Amino acid sequence: MSWHGITTVYVKELRDLLRDKRTVRSMIIIPVVVMPALTFGVGKIATVLVSKARAETPTVMVLGGADSPGVVARLRSEAKIRLVPEAADWKQEVSDKRIRAAVKLPEHFEADLRTGAALPVVIYDYQGELKSGFAAGEIEKFFHGLSTQTAKERLAEHGLPATLVQPFETRRENVAPPEKVGGNALGGIVPYMIIILCFMGAVYPALDLTAGEKERGTMETLLCSPVSRVDIVLGKFLMVLTSSLSAMALSLLSMAASFFLLGSLIAGGARAAAKAASGPLPMIDPLGIFGVLGMVLPVAVLFSAVIFTVALFAKSFKEAQSYVQPMVFIVIMPAIVGMLPGIDLNARLALVPILNLSLVCKEMLSGVWHWGYIGVIFGSTCLYAAAALALAVRMFKREDVIFRA
Amino acid sequence: MIEATNLTKLFRDKKRGEVRAADGISFRVAPGEIYGLLGANGAGKTTTLRLLATLLKPTAGTAVIDGHDVVREPEKVRAHVGFLAASTALYGRLTAREMIAYFGRLNGLAESEIDARIRRLADDLDMHEFLDRRCEKFSTGMKQKTSIARTLVHDPAVMIFDEPTLGLDVMTARAIVRFVRDCRARGKTVIYSTHVMSEVEKLCDRVGIIHDGRLLAEGTVPELLARAGETDLEEAFVKLSGIKEAA
């Protein structure tokens, strides 16, 4: 092994790939521009749409209620809903979104309310339709208030305290520090994104430097040089790793920047939500971020070596793509499982690649450092990565792989 | 100097079973000599040359190239060999200068030495006009000149040519033939594979006829014609290789 050979191959591959428009697209433009634009763009659109839907005063139709003028009048005085006159085709109107919901008051509702014999109030909404759901929520809130107030009035009539039906209240208070709240909320998604970005960043250069070179006929040219096969593999592999880590780092930086730039809406909303819930604003433990990046390194090596080896078998770039595409699911599945609630790190899961990273990163981002597991996961992933790299070298030395006709 | 002894290469093929692409091939090429390897498609020429260039490892036998054994010292062998084939392409996104410099570095040359070599090669091959242009935009002639410069950057003692004129236009093919002669004039050991009879007659000092992985006959062109009792090399080749002509 010679560093001169490795660096010569690496520098050439770097220069070559940076001149390739497809690489620039997959390594820089997609992670830096497209991914955050999609992630935050969709998020922003969703936020705007939800806010718009919330801001709308929904139109609600009261069915019946002629004998309950008091309730209808109170309902009409609600600022958050607008009543419209009853119509025979009310169902069609809800379906056509001309009105958002309808509420059916039973006959003699107001009178029965006083005697305690009132039948249920039925709310009609269009399930799955956001604005209809908001309207139904407002109606529910109104009748819940009416129900509570009626109960209190009745108790008062009998000289009984209101605490008779509600002897005590319960209250929830958060004791988790902000970074733990953030770790739990974002701990699943951040490692998932890092894993996917690392994988995607390695795909294009791995294919180009193996099957692509074979297809273009430059592999044979390179093999004529006196540099050892090991040096060639390591030089090329380092390029794939560079691409994997750069794509991941650039994406994270770009997402962080987008988050802060576009964050007025999102962060503002989160702050308001946290304030409303009397809770802390979610944060991520900064040390956790460094921990995650450290743990990702052997996984990036593993991805780069595995994709490199698989692509080496192909005769053309297209063939290599057909080999590598199914691997995306193998990577995504454990990353998704790691995001699921209720799956906790244990000794057995600590040895399952990708899933172990996803689980330990979730903990690190919430400030929990299980050093034993961290050591096992880092060590086992390094071993898997070393084995994958050794396999890549071995395959590169095989004539039936390199000169596969 | 090239000294091949009993070079054998077996491949496993799913349909054909065991294939003897090179079967006990032995020959010797001296410095300042052009040895032609003449054979039909699939005769074993490319496999033999890839064995000499250490791109493939022999199943049995060996070859010594400029004092280095292809089995024991493949990297040293490659440092003394320039290999040019129709299948050895250029990196399209590199310029001709970068391409030549890359192979200079891979061969362990110092930067100052690489610069000097590039200047000399560009003079010899008239490459100055396109030296700093990317190879992907080159004409076939420019590509061939750059490939030649790539094979010569480390000034190898042995040159291996595997059908270098395949698919080239007449003028570019003539330039290649001129270059091969020039290699001989400079005292290099040259092995040249082809199935074009006229190239063999024009270029080769000695010729080996290869068929089904075996070296069937060897000698100068007049010797081969005499042995076959023919006056035409093509007829002599058909007779000596034992190829049955299609009806």
- d(C-alpha A36, C-alpha A169), whole Å: 44
Average pLDDT over residues B40-48: 90
pLDDT at B106 over 70: yes
In 3D space, the residue among B176, B167, B22 whose CA is nearest the CA of residue B87 turns out to be B167
Q: Do B55 and A224 touch (CB under 8 A)?
A: yes
Among A93-97, A283-287, B29-33, which stretch is predicted with the lowest mean pLDDT? A283-287
User: Number of helices (H) and strands (E), helices first, in chain A?
Assistant: 18, 4
- Tell me the range of A28-37, A237-246, A283-292 where mean pLDDT is highest: A237-246
- What's the whole-number average pLDDT of chain A? 85
pLDDT at A130 over 70: yes
Give pLDDT tens digits for A211-221. Answer: 999 999 999 99
What does pTM read for this prediction?
A: 0.79
Dihedral angle computed from the Cα positions of residues A45, A50, A56 and A57, in that order, rounded to the nearest 10 degrees? 170
In 3D space, the residue among B27, B3, B34 whose CA is nearest the CA of residue B187 turns out to be B34
Helix (H) / strand (E) containing B35: strand B34-38
pLDDT at A269 over 70: no
Confidence band of A179 (pLDDT split at 50, 70, 90)? low
Pick from A10, A216, A225 the residue to mutate for testing the B interface (most B CBs within 10 Å). A225
Tokens of A99: 């009105």
Per-residue confidence (pLDDT) for residue A133, from 0 to 100: 92
Looking at chain A, the whole-number percentage of residues with pLDDT higher than 70 is 89
- d(C-alpha A36, C-alpha B149), whole Å: 46
Edge-to-edge strand list for the sheet holding A82-84: A82-84, A59-63, A101-104, A122-125
Does A382 contact chain B (CB < 8 Å)? Answer: no
User: B residues 57-116 near A, CB within 8 Å?
Assistant: 57, 75-76, 78-79, 81, 83, 85, 87-94, 98, 102-103, 105-108
Average pLDDT over residues A135-155: 91
Q: Do A399 and B89 touch (CB under 8 A)?
A: no
pLDDT at A271 over 70: no
Contact residues on chain B for A400, CB-CB shorter than 8 A: 11-12
Average pLDDT over residues B74-91: 91
Q: Are the C-beta atoms of B131 and B122 separated by less than 8 Å?
A: yes
Average pLDDT over residues B143-156: 92
Per-residue confidence (pLDDT) for residue B167, from 0 to 100: 78
Per-residue confidence (pLDDT) for residue A25, from 0 to 100: 78
Higher pLDDT, A176 or B207: B207
Pairing of strands A59-63, A82-84: parallel
Per-residue confidence (pLDDT) for residue A231, from 0 to 100: 96
Looking at chain B, the whole-number percentage of residues with pLDDT higher than 70 is 99
Using the structure block, give the residue that is written with the tokens 């209240």: A169
In 3D space, the residue among B117, B174, B180 whose CA is nearest the CA of residue B150 turns out to be B117
pLDDT at A34 over 60: yes
For B34-72, give one letter per residue: b (16+ CB within 10 A) or e: bbbbbbbeebbbbbbbbbbbbbbebeebbbbbbebebee
Give pLDDT tens digits for A300-334. Answer: 999 999 999 999 999 999 999 999 999 988 888 88
Per-residue confidence (pLDDT) for residue A368, from 0 to 100: 78
Does A4 contact chain B (CB < 8 Å)? Answer: yes
Confidence band of A186 (pLDDT split at 50, 70, 90)? low
Q: Do B90 and A218 touch (CB under 8 A)?
A: yes
- What's the whole-number average pLDDT of chain B? 91
Total Cβ atoms within 10 A of residue A114: 13
Contact residues on chain A for B101, CB-CB shorter than 8 A: none
Per-residue confidence (pLDDT) for residue A291, from 0 to 100: 84
A30-35: list long-range contacts, CB under 8 Å, 24+ apart: A31/A197, A31/A200, A31/A201, A31/A247, A31/A248, A31/A250, A31/A251, A31/A254, A32/A250, A32/A251, A32/A253, A32/A254, A33/A254, A35/A197, A35/A251, A35/A254, A35/A255
Per-residue confidence (pLDDT) for residue A124, from 0 to 100: 95
Per-residue confidence (pLDDT) for residue A182, from 0 to 100: 62
Sign of CA dihedral B204, B207, B212, B213: negative
Does A21 contact chain B (CB < 8 Å)? Answer: no
Among A260-274, B74-88, B161-175, which stretch is predicted with the lowest mean pLDDT? A260-274
Angle at A289 between CA A366 and CA A262, to 5 degrees: 95
Does B56 contact chain A (CB < 8 Å)? Answer: yes
A170: left (phi over 0), alpha (psi -120 to 50) or beta: beta
Q: Do B90 and A5 touch (CB under 8 A)?
A: no
Q: Are the C-beta atoms of B204 and B35 separated by less than 8 Å?
A: yes
pLDDT at A371 over 60: yes
Confidence band of A283 (pLDDT split at 50, 70, 90)? low
Query: How far from A177 is each of A92, A280, A360, B119, CA to CA, in Å?
Result: 50, 7, 19, 68
Does B167 contact chain A (CB < 8 Å)? Answer: no
Per-residue confidence (pLDDT) for residue B153, from 0 to 100: 94
pLDDT at A272 over 70: no
Q: Do A226 and B98 touch (CB under 8 A)?
A: no
Contact residues on chain B for A216, CB-CB shorter than 8 A: 89, 92
Confidence band of A40 (pLDDT split at 50, 70, 90)? confident
Helix (H) / strand (E) containing A147: helix A130-157
Per-residue confidence (pLDDT) for residue A370, from 0 to 100: 85
pLDDT at A248 over 90: no
Per-residue confidence (pLDDT) for residue A294, from 0 to 100: 87
Task: Pick B87's closest partner by Cβ from A5, A16, A217.
Answer: A217
Q: Are the C-beta atoms of B104 and B156 separated by less than 8 Å?
A: no
Per-residue confidence (pLDDT) for residue B13, from 0 to 100: 81
Average pLDDT over residues A159-183: 78
Per-residue confidence (pLDDT) for residue A138, from 0 to 100: 92
Per-residue confidence (pLDDT) for residue A275, from 0 to 100: 53
Per-residue confidence (pLDDT) for residue A30, from 0 to 100: 76
For A288-308, the DSSP string reads HHHHHHHHHHHHHHHHHHHHH
Q: Do A217 and B88 touch (CB under 8 A)?
A: yes
Confidence band of B95 (pLDDT split at 50, 70, 90)? very high
pLDDT at A188 over 90: no
Sign of CA dihedral A62, A67, A73, A74: negative
Pick from B9, B16, B54, B105 the residue to mutate for testing the A interface (most A CBs within 10 Å). B105
What is the identity of the amino acid at A368? V
Q: Where are the alpha helices (DSSP H) in A96-129?
A: 109-115
Per-residue confidence (pLDDT) for residue A187, from 0 to 100: 66
Confidence band of B247 (pLDDT split at 50, 70, 90)? low
Per-residue confidence (pLDDT) for residue B204, from 0 to 100: 94
Confidence band of B134 (pLDDT split at 50, 70, 90)? very high
